[in-house]
Amino acid sequence: VQLQASGGGLVQAGGSLRLSCAASGRTFSGYAAGWFRQSPGKPREFVAAISWSGGRSDYADFVKDRFTISRDSVKNTIYLQMNTLKPGDTAVYYCATPGAAFGTDRPRIYVSEYEHWGQGTQVTVSS
């Protein structure tokens, strides 16, 4: 499977962006998905995740009430709607899916739970 993340860019503080993650070679159906981010010199950190059914999601505390993760099974795409962006949100954002489908229907919040990663998309928030 290949994941292609897009939608990043330069935005002013308080603005919004929507990231997309499209899968090729395999459907997202039956697979949990997540978004992580990484800034220079820092480890990759959890941002948001959605269960394979789409019925459950989880967010890092620093993005709760600002970001929303969703999935579109028809378009085979995962989205991350980011509102009220802050300079601290500046990072490369990565989408990911586990290697196995179904299982416990829960969001997966650890890097180690994911096997397939997109190439990342840069988000830069100016003050």
Residues composing the chain:
127
> What pLDDT, on a 0 to 100 scale, did the predictor assign at position 105?
94
73 touches 111 (CB < 8 A): no
Longest CA span, the chain: 42
Q: Which amino acid belongs to residue 2?
A: Q
> 3-class SS at 112?
helix
Kindly state the helix (H) or strand (E) to which residue 93 belongs, with its residue range.
strand 91-97
Q: Extract the residue ranges of the chain whose pLDDT is less than 50.
A: none
> What pLDDT, on a 0 to 100 scale, did the predictor assign at position 26?
82
Q: What are phi and psi of 47, to 5 degrees?
A: -115, -55
> What pLDDT, on a 0 to 100 scale, did the predictor assign at position 103?
86
DSSP classification of residue 111: G
Q: Which residues contact 54 (CB under 8 A, 6 or more apart)?
A: 70, 71, 73
> What pLDDT, on a 0 to 100 scale, did the predictor assign at position 104?
92
64 touches 7 (CB < 8 A): no
Using alpha carbons, select from 1, 9, 111 the residue that is nearest to residue 60.
Answer: 111
> What pLDDT, on a 0 to 100 scale, did the predictor assign at position 101?
87
